[in-house]
Structure 1
Amino acid sequence: MKKYLTISEMAKYAGISRRTLIYYDQIDLFKPAKIGDNGYRYYGIDQYFELDVILLLKNLDVALEDIHVFLKNRNVDYVLAGFIRQKQIVDEQITKLKTIRNSLDSYIERYSTLKDFDLESITYSYREAESFIISETIEHFDDIDSVQIYGRFYSSVESSDLFSGYPIGFLVDGSAFYEANFHAAPYRALVKIPEDRLQIYNQQQVVQRPAGYYVSGFMKDEIHHINTFNNRFRNYLKENGLELNGDIWELLWQDETTSEHPEDQVFEVLIPVKHK
């Protein structure tokens, strides 16, 4: 009766490669019963059972170093506790993957919007309220102070919120809308935060964009075209009997992710309005 299997026979039984069995031998996880005079590895028939345990644990995504410990502690209490720990790890991975998936959905929706945006149209529509975390006031966008403010602000925001896929925003005092150089007006940076996550942030940082009617439109290359854009907005408000009713919100829909050129940036400007 045959007592030993070659490495190829054991690999075929387990549905794994010879290379995997060699690696398991090298790390002392699963060693052959003997090494022949010819240097070949041979496995005992009863080693099937131990390999089955290893493959079971590997299928449950247990790390190889943890499988080492499992094999030395094969009793119900230890294995049960180990499986409970592994389930917790898997649950954490599922939560993380769901967050990544939600972000990908947001980015896909965001960049799909960019394929159809219209730089010429101005829209009057109702917008639901949204909550944001807000930065300190930034006086000049191109000096060292602004860089430091951005650094403090972004480091205070959880990465899952900062990279959620929703456009980064900016808030400008409504009075700046009528100034000659709107682009030079002080502003604050914004990151949208879901309602169920607001409690983890300092409430003094939270600001809400009120529900209501907004006049909005897309604009490319804000630095060079903001004043022309504002003139179009002011004319639209005048022609439709509307007036400014709050601060001005900007959303950066196209950023450095989709273009390396700053002049390709695409903003959506939202101006809260009411009828005169």
Structure 2
Amino acid sequence: MNSQKKKFYKIGEISKLYGVSSDILRYYNKIGLVKPDFVGENGYRYYSKKQIWKLNSIRNLRNLGVGLEEIKKFLYERNTKNAEEMLEFQLNVISEKINKLEELREEINNKIENINFFKGFNDFNKPILKYIPERKILKSKGILKKDWEIDFEIKILNKKTAYKDDILLTNNEVGAFISKENFYKKEYQTFSGTFIINEEKGEKLAEGYYLSFVFKGSYENSPKYYKILKNYIVEHNYEVIGEILEIYHIEVHITENEDEYITEIQIPVDKVNCK
């Protein structure tokens, strides 16, 4: 028996060697995927190298999203046709993962560029009129007053975009909006919902002129900036024609230091008066 045992491995040894839990190996045995060669008098399951080689294939295929039934069929009905189909499937999955990683790399580079852009930004605390082309916007509605309420709603909205995992790793502009009525009532920190501006989904946000104001620091300072903008609108005979957007370029997902927060207010104004 001692000489026989040297040719076989216990379930615990296989578990450590392949990083597969003993429970998973027992399940594989139960469904007939990888069976022990024999069970000793002591109740231990023993596996030979003939069985163990399958674990590499199983692990690789599972990592690529292949179901256990498909793996079982491949392992026990191996032929060149099945092998070719399985290899082509693996290539397709790998290609998809490469594409996603390429997209992720682009997103990270864009985020770095965005942070660097604002490092050299010189137009803080200045009302600037700018033309913005048509955009797509996903919106949620509801009265919001707390930062965490806004963040929670944005995360829910983010699930509807192509970027389902992390707001940090998207090109989307996120923020909250203030109704025209609340703007004129000086309710500058009562929001009517959240939004995500993106390229794929949502209603159209009309092109037009926006009075832009970029400020750095805590959101608690925003009321004084809204007062500056309101005075500017009156002095230049502009008319607010829609909801006010508050875009969070650098926020809590990027830094915990409120002094580093960068927010842009965008107020749509009547193009006729933008001369």
TM-score range, shorter chain: 0.5 to 0.7
Q: Which residue of 2 aligns with 1:164?
A: 170
Relative distance call for 1:250 and 1:89 in structure 2 (3 A) is: same
Identity percentage over the alignment? 20
2:158 corresponds to 1:150: no
Residue in 1 that maps onto 2:266? 270
Cα pair 1:168 1:251 within 8 Å, conserved: yes
Q: How many residues align?
A: 210
Q: Is the 1:114–1:253 contact (alpha carbons within 8 Å) kept by the matching residues of 2?
A: no
Q: Any idea what SS the aligned residue of 1:271 has?
A: strand
The offset of 1:64, in angstroms, is 10
What are the equivalent positions in structure 2 for 1:56-75 lying under 5 Å apart?
Answer: 75=79
CA 1:193/1:155 → structure 2, altered by over 3 Å: closer, same or farther? closer
Q: Which residue of 1 aligns with 2:188?
A: 182
**C-alpha distance in structure 1 between counterparts of 2:99 and 2:91, whole Å:** 12
Pairing of 1:102-251 with structure 2 (within 5 A): 102-117=106-121, 118-141=123-146, 146=149, 150=153, 153-154=156-157, 156-158=159-161, 160=163, 162=167, 163-183=169-189, 185-195=190-200, 198=201, 206-251=202-247
Give the drift of 1:89. Answer: 1.1
Contact 1:254/1:264 (CA < 8 Å) preserved in 2?
yes
From the superposition, tell whether residues 99 and 82 of structure 1 become closer, same or farther in structure 2 (CA, over 3 Å): same
Cα distance in 1, alignment partners of residues 151 and 213 from structure 2: 30
How much has 1:232 moved relative to structure 2? 1.7
Residue 256 in structure 1 maps to residue 252 in structure 2: yes
Q: For 1:222 and 1:97, locate their aligned partners in 2 and report how far apart those are by CA, in whole Å.
A: 34
Over 3 Å counting, the alpha-carbon distance change for 1:149 and 1:136 in structure 2 is: farther
1:267 Cα deviation (Å)? 0.6
Q: Is the 8 A contact 2:134 2:206 kept in 1?
A: yes
In structure 1, list runs of 5 or more residues that go unmatched: 1-22, 28-53, 199-205
| Structure 2 counterpart SS, 1:251 | strand
Any idea what the Cα deviations from partners look like across 1:187-239, whole Å, max 9, x if unmatched? 211122323xx2xxxxxxx4432111111011223532222111221232233
Q: Over aligned residues, Cα RMSD in angstroms?
A: 3.7
Whole-angstrom distance in 1 between the partners of 2:269 and 2:185 = 18
Contact 1:107 1:166 in 2 (8 A): no
The aligned counterpart of 1:91 is: 95
Are the equivalent residues in 1 in contact too, given 2:211–2:269 (CA < 8 A)?
Answer: yes
Following TM superposition, by how much is the alpha carbon of 1:147 offset from its aligned partner in structure 2, in angstroms? 7.3
Tell me the SS of whatever aligns to 1:244: coil
- Residue 33 of structure 2: aligned partner: none
Q: CA deviation at 1:251?
A: 0.7
CA deviation string 1:247-273 (max 9, x = no partner): 101110111243213353211011111
CA 1:179–1:271 in structure 2 vs 1: closer, same or farther (change >3 Å)? same
Kindly tell me: are residues 154 and 244 of structure 1, through their superposed partners in 2, closer, same or farther at Cα, counting changes over 3 Å?
closer
Q: Is the 8 A contact 1:99 1:160 kept in 2?
A: no
1:126 deviates by 0.8
User: What CA distance in whole angstroms lies between the structure 1 residues aligned with 2:84 and 2:114?
Assistant: 45
